[in-house]
Structure 1
Amino acid sequence: MVLSVPEEEQEEALDTIPAGAPRAHESVIVSPEMTILIGRGPIGEAATPADAFAIAYGMGAINAPATLTLVGRDQVPTLLAEDAGATRVVLLVAPNALNRIGGETRPEAGERRGFHLPTELRGIGLALRDCGLSGEAGDIYRAAKAIELLFETWRLLDAQVLSPVAGESDLSEADSLRLVQARSLIDERWNEKLSLDGIARQCGLNREKLTRGFREMFACSVAEALSERRLVQASRMLLTTNLPVSSIGYENGYMNNASFARAFGRRFGVTPSDFRAQRLAA
């Protein structure tokens, strides 16, 4: 239950963000592994679980999309020092909490990633933010919603279905989702004869928006993503099968052995035959 952990155990598990900025509008310690902060920021003196990462939920406003921001532990002080411009919900979460919910995605210490906030998560976040209950009843309600929000967020993160926010791009959420679809198409159908026009057509984008948006969102071109997927799979097949090099190249989308050997050499620094021989000899 909320706040049922003895105070001495809470003190052992919690660090404190140094003072110097205004406090959060509201703060609820769910357990030694999670704290809820509700406010615009900057936020100071927040009870923070040891090694905590943070998830910030911006509910959106006029000319501001609803977003989810995931930051690793080294970025938490920066996040809390920001003025978000509107009230948001921030969850400070210890890594061990993910073990309890079976979460697989783990933010790196210096990582910061932004996503469009889907409707189902926004609904939970708004219920948590706008809770009208006070006292212990309000704390219990918000703690329950925070646990639900954490669980549902990680379900979507692990499924890789959240749509990334592409920096300062003017891409809409709908176009961002289409770009995620394009990346999924490459990951799932890499061994087929895929073309830029064909991918754009299947995902409902024009060629220019696919080319520009894909690079903004994934920091590589469509051709580079496709080549990487094919070559990694080819490298695995060289080590785990006895198929001829030419057959492996063909199965991974290369129409002739010369083009496969050139691409493989650029990626791994050796020919496919030498790659196989060196790894097997080792």
Structure 2
Amino acid sequence: MKAGEREWIQVSHEMGALLGGGTVPQKAWPADPVALGFRYGGVGAPATVHWHAAPRPSDFEGEPLVLIVAADAVRRLFGTLPAGISSGFHITRELREIALAIRDCALPEAAREPYRLAKSIELLCDTLRLIGADALVPVLGDGLLSQEDSRRILAARAMIDERWAEKLTLDKLSRACGLNRAKLTRGFREMFDCSIADALAEKRLEGARSLLLSTDLPIASIGYRCGYLNNASFTRAFTRRFGTAPTQYRAGRLAA
């Protein structure tokens, strides 16, 4: 890799990845290429992916991770290509974590290459699957929020933080803050890099953890108080978040 060039990761003869900033190296792209350009996001900037049906090096400005793949490979895997020449979407937290794992991989060189290859394929497949299922929110305009929209989204976040134990729905939050569902969903992810459901689940599970340690309430009662309608769903969510079931978590902390 020359100074000032992006790193090129050769995934296969049908796929490669560009990593970092700088000029695009003169590598042999796959035949009839298409591309997905990722932006990691950060304070004041959303995490996004842009679909390029006819990519050129100049298209990738501001996109520090780009997956370039043969169009035939995409058709073979998914049956079709995403619609349109160029379109952008807000990515999920899970997609962003995969992209960051590619960027931040600190494994020794011998292990780093296969790790990045595997993660690049995972990112490609998961992104195209979600685009095909219409599960990603489109980027509208420049993706920036107005001051008034930001104020309303902050009000929705405050409602989650203060009233997480209530039966909060997207419709209720939308009415309370004065934004339609689509704008609230998209704007919330832009501001907080997570979905409304993720933010609500995090508050509820933190509340449940506190009750486990500070009270002797039954597990099922704690789950119900924290917004879970049955013990099974509460136990699954708690275990996924903290790595252990509520009963074991309480017993382990009290024993310590």
Name the TM-score, length of structure 1 as normaliser: 0.49
Partner of 2:252: none
CA radius of gyration, larger in: 1
Superimposed CA distance per residue, residues 79-124 of structure 1 (whole angstroms, 9 cap, x where no aligned partner): 23x2x2xx7211001112213433533354xx21111111110111
Q: Which runs of 5+ in 2 are unaligned?
A: 154-169, 184-256
In the TM superposition, residue 127 of structure 1 has moved relative to its aligned partner by 0.9
The match for 1:48 among 29, 38, 41 is 29
Q: Which runs of 5+ in 1 are unaligned?
A: 1-20, 176-199, 214-282
Partner of 1:116: 90
In the TM superposition, residue 60 of structure 1 has moved relative to its aligned partner by 0.9
Are residue 150 (structure 1) and residue 124 (structure 2) matched? yes
In the TM superposition, residue 42 of structure 1 has moved relative to its aligned partner by 3.5
Partner of 2:201: none
Partner of 2:174: 204
Partner of 1:79: 59
CA distance in structure 2 between the partners assigned to 1:136 and 1:77 by the alignment: 29
In the TM superposition, residue 170 of structure 1 has moved relative to its aligned partner by 2.0
Matched-pair contact (CA < 8 Å) for 1:34–1:94? yes
Q: What is the identity percentage for the equivalent residue pairs of Structure 1 and Structure 2?
A: 36
The match for 1:68 among 29, 32, 49 is 49
Are residue 135 (structure 1) and residue 109 (structure 2) matched? yes
Are residue 106 (structure 1) and residue 76 (structure 2) matched? no
CA distance in structure 2 between the partners assigned to 1:206 and 1:103 by the alignment: 42
SS of corresponding position for 2:44? coil
In 2 relative to 1, CA 40–212 (structure 1 residues): closer, same or farther, beyond 3 Å?
A: same
Are residue 27 (structure 1) and residue 8 (structure 2) matched? yes
Equivalent pairs, count: 162
Highest RCO, 1 vs 2 (Cα 8 Å, sep ≥ 6) = 2
In 2 relative to 1, CA 159–205 (structure 1 residues): closer, same or farther, beyond 3 Å?
A: farther
Superimposed CA distance per residue, residues 220-246 of structure 1 (whole angstroms, 9 cap, x where no aligned partner): xxxxxxxxxxxxxxxxxxxxxxxxxxx
SS of corresponding position for 2:26? coil
In 2 relative to 1, CA 155–212 (structure 1 residues): closer, same or farther, beyond 3 Å?
A: closer
Partner of 1:88: 64
